[in-house]
Amino acid sequence: MSVTVFFAAGEDRWPDYRDHLSAAIAEAGVNARVVLDATPEEADYIVFAPGGPIEDFRPYRNAKAVLNLWAGVENIVGNATLTQPLCRMVDPALTAGMVEWVTGHVLRHHLGMDVHILGQNGIWRGGIAPPIASERPVAILGLGELGRACGRALAGLGFPVMGWSRTAKAVPGLDCHAKEEGLRHVLSRAEIAVLLLPLTAETDTILNADRIASMPRGAIIINPGRGALIDDDALLAALDAGQIGHATLDVFREEPLPPSHPFWQHPKITVTPHIASETRGSSASRVIAENIRRGEAGESFLYLVDRRQGY
């Protein structure tokens, strides 16, 4: 018996996944055909990304799981037609990419690299060495797969790393906090704050004007989480007032970020085009294949989304 895996994640991504997915599923010991087109009755598993061909999941009555290509599920989790189990992407390569992106941008700001990279104009700016990492408190909001890995990497470089999550956590090397009072504690001390929260009803605009004002003056905000975690207008006002020293933003309320958006021109904002860490066909296919193997073996799926919590 062969299972049908419907790649409902967009034709443009198909070339990246076609061969990797077929190979990974075969390697997992499952006899499958991976197709770009399937009738609803045929689909045993759905590999999903927003913008693909499925919006209504009701006809896919035989599908045993919907396997989301992205770590973030805000574009599918509220879909009332979805009754099948929903799994999100957790992948060592995705995590490694995020650790590198976050570490790089934290170090850029910590070391004040811009002064020398952008200001190479014959002036010898000696005598102002950056502090060492142990003097620079960093906060990671969100202690999931990505937040924990980034926190551990930064702690490994010597930064005092505070973490914040919904439920209380203990992560070796990190000073962990939860709940509203935990957020107050963490933000009030964070010279650099990294946002790695999912976008949910609870986290929408979590970094609002009051919370931005509670951070140390000149603090840096780094957001590879989701654009809507931050109040854009409050951020712009805080940058103009010097309350925030710089914001490095990878994600935005509207993507692509419109050319007329003030973030593009702002001297204290760095825009990167949602490239902090990509899901790559070669490694993500193995994650998907393992979940299909589990489905066929009657084992529980990995990385199931809690529909009630929204992540």
Summarize as ranges the residues that interact with ligand NDP (CB under 6 A). Answer: 71-72, 90, 94, 142-147, 165-167, 169, 196-200, 202-203, 224-226, 250-251, 274, 276-277, 311
Minimum CB distance to ligand NDP smaller for 29 or for 173 = 173
Which residue, judged by CB position, is nearest to ligand NDP in the bound state?
144
Which is nearer to ligand NDP, 28 or 149 (by Cβ)?
A: 149
To ligand NDP, the closest distance from the beta carbon of 219 in angstroms equals 19
d(CA 192, CA 179): 20
Rounded least distance, CB 116 to ligand NDP, Å: 27
Q: Smallest gap, in angstroms, from Cβ of residue 213 to ligand NDP? A: 19
For the bound state, the minimum distance from the C-beta of residue 250 to ligand NDP, rounded and expressed in Å, comes to: 5
Angle at 101 between CA 179 and CA 91, to 5 degrees: 75
Backbone φ and ψ for 116, nearest 5 degrees, come out as -90, -35
Residue pointed to by tokens 């906060």:
139
Contact 155, 171 (CB under 8 A): no
Active site residue 226: yes
From 274, 280, 293, 307, active-site residue: 274
Q: Which one from 13, 88, 177, 226 is the annotated catalytic residue?
A: 226
* Exposure letters 83-120 (e unless 16+ CB within 10 A, then b): ebbbbbbebebbbebbbebbbebbbbbbeeeeeeeeee
Catalytic, 274? Answer yes
Could you say which DSSP state residue 270 is in?
A: E
Residues acting as catalytic residues: 226, 274
